[in-house]
Structure 1
Amino acid sequence: MDGQERVDAARNRAAILAAAAALFDRDGAESVSMSDIAEAAGVGKGTVFRRFGDRTALIEAVLMPRVNGLSQQVEHGAPPLGPGGSPAEATRAYLDALLDFVVGNRTLIRALENRGPNVYYANASSRYWIAELTRRLTVARPEEDADYLAHVLFTALRADVVDYLMTAREMSLQRIRAGLHTLAGVTYPGTPASGEIAGGPVPGSPTADSPTAGDPVAVGDVQAAGTRAGG
């Protein structure tokens, strides 16, 4: 390949990536064909396949700069997402950043999640995110099994789970974010009970006005009332 061919190949690759990113973000990865991308990029469909091989590789290529951007913030950015900050703050910031990344890229991530057994956890990017989450949890929650907890939280961050909660269950991003903090044990000081987050009590959850198993005063009041009622 001579110099001009290399320039043309690089230009075609950049055009394909830009077109794919714009179409995926606008229409969702599942709704965009390789022909759509080729037309938007101004190249032949065969060029798209020669440059990227298949649809999965193209989706990965679109995601990679975004993944690298987040990892740069994690490793070199300002605290608490970057190095520094209290352990709880650092863990909250990291969970928030992962959730925001999933929400912003969920159609792309969903297209990659079910490619085979354990793919969601075993790919290089996921191993990095899980390892960093484990590291932060180890410092913030030294009494817990950080490796197990990191995998549970990472499962809760699956794009299909987040998408389901936001669409079918109509949960707000605030509520999902607060739930992740609660699972991780790094809630903000003074955070209300999980049943009171984002728009009032969740059906079936305790409220500030109802006794809970974790409130010995309330339980004692109920028991005392029962004793009085029974004579």
Structure 2
Amino acid sequence: MTQGRRERADAARNRRAILLATEDLLTRHRPEEISMERVAAAAGVGKGTLFHRFGSRMGLMRALMEERAVALHTSVESGPPPLGPGAPPRERLYAFLDGIVDVVSRNKGLVAALGHAASTAHRPPARKTGRQDRTGTAAEEADQGQEPEQVCAVPRGRAAQEPDDTSDAPDRHGHPHDHPVYDFWHAHISALITAERPDADAELLAHLLLSPLYSTHIHAALERGEGARVARALRTTAGAMLDAPETPEETPPSG
């Protein structure tokens, strides 16, 4: 029993060291410069440990983003209104959009890294095209011969639904940034829109509200410290969506 407890403590310590090392590297390097080998060296662990813990580079970035977003998640579930339960849907939506902008503005490098990890999903494996630079993300991930255990944390209720992500592939919707954090943000926004406007296409509107946060232009604004401006614009957009008159669905032309 003592050995088991020690092993769990060591695993937790390694996980924390890996996430801290990744976070530090993202403050000093572009996402494409951060390989799994580089993270392992910075964290003082073996590269095999890194793959075993997180499955892939995308899995690592997801885990870090989930940890950064957990405070917002907790506030939504059990915090005071308007972010938490008890406020009207519109007020909760505005407060939630403010919270998302705050998370993204403090984690621009991480959001970019998630996008870069997904964009490298289908690079040709090294064993098919000759040896690539061993510090490259595609080569080192392609050389892992088996599917490692996926143990990175996900928001409650999501674990059983998450697909294996060792390939860094986009999900079935084709959105390169989809991950448990995005899924939760999208689901919560959709629910609030539906509560305020049951006739609205809440699923699509939620994607439209979130998509600007992955724009290079919005990231540039956040880099300039214009988070409040971005949040106001999102509130304006959301308000316009909620106040728009109901329009009938278009019917496809016949014949």
Q: Which structure has greater helix proportion?
A: 1
- Normalization by structure 2: what TM-score? 0.60
TM superposition shift of 1:153: 0.6
Query: Among 146, 166, 173, which residue is 2:227 paired with?
Result: 173
> Where do 5+ consecutive residues of structure 1 fail to align?
188-231
Q: Give the equivalent residue in structure 2 for 1:183.
A: 237
CA distance in 2, matches of 1:16, 1:171: 29
1:68 aligns with 2:124: no
1:120-139 → structure 2 map (5 Å cutoff): 120=176, 122-139=178-195
Give identity over the alignment, percent.
40
Q: Is the 8 A contact 2:105 2:222 kept in 1?
A: no
Q: Which amino acid aligns with 1:70?
A: L
The structure-2 alpha-carbon separation of the partners of 1:109 and 1:37, relative to structure 1 and needing over 3 Å to count, comes to: same
- The structure with the largest alpha-carbon Rg is 1
**Secondary structure of 1:81's aligned partner:** coil
Q: Is the 8 A contact 2:114 2:177 kept in 1?
A: no
TM superposition shift of 1:181: 1.0
The structure-2 alpha-carbon separation of the partners of 1:121 and 1:101, relative to structure 1 and needing over 3 Å to count, comes to: same
Q: Is the 8 A contact 1:28 1:108 kept in 2?
A: no
Q: Which amino acid aligns with 2:201?
A: D
TM superposition shift of 1:184: 0.7
**Secondary structure of 1:132's aligned partner:** helix
Q: Give the equivalent residue in structure 2 for 1:221.
A: none
Q: Give the equivalent residue in structure 1 for 2:125.
A: none
1:24 aligns with 2:26: yes
Q: Which amino acid aligns with 1:92?
A: Y
Q: Give the equivalent residue in structure 2 for 1:153.
A: 209
The structure-2 alpha-carbon separation of the partners of 1:133 and 1:31, relative to structure 1 and needing over 3 Å to count, comes to: same
The structure-2 alpha-carbon separation of the partners of 1:86 and 1:186, relative to structure 1 and needing over 3 Å to count, comes to: farther
The structure-2 alpha-carbon separation of the partners of 1:156 and 1:141, relative to structure 1 and needing over 3 Å to count, comes to: farther
CA distance in 2, matches of 1:23, 1:64: 17
The structure-2 alpha-carbon separation of the partners of 1:147 and 1:28, relative to structure 1 and needing over 3 Å to count, comes to: same
Moved more, 98-107 or 33-42: 33-42
Q: Is the 8 A contact 2:98 2:231 kept in 1?
A: yes
Residues 19-41 of structure 1: per-residue CA shift (max 9 Å, x gap) = 22233245454443334323332
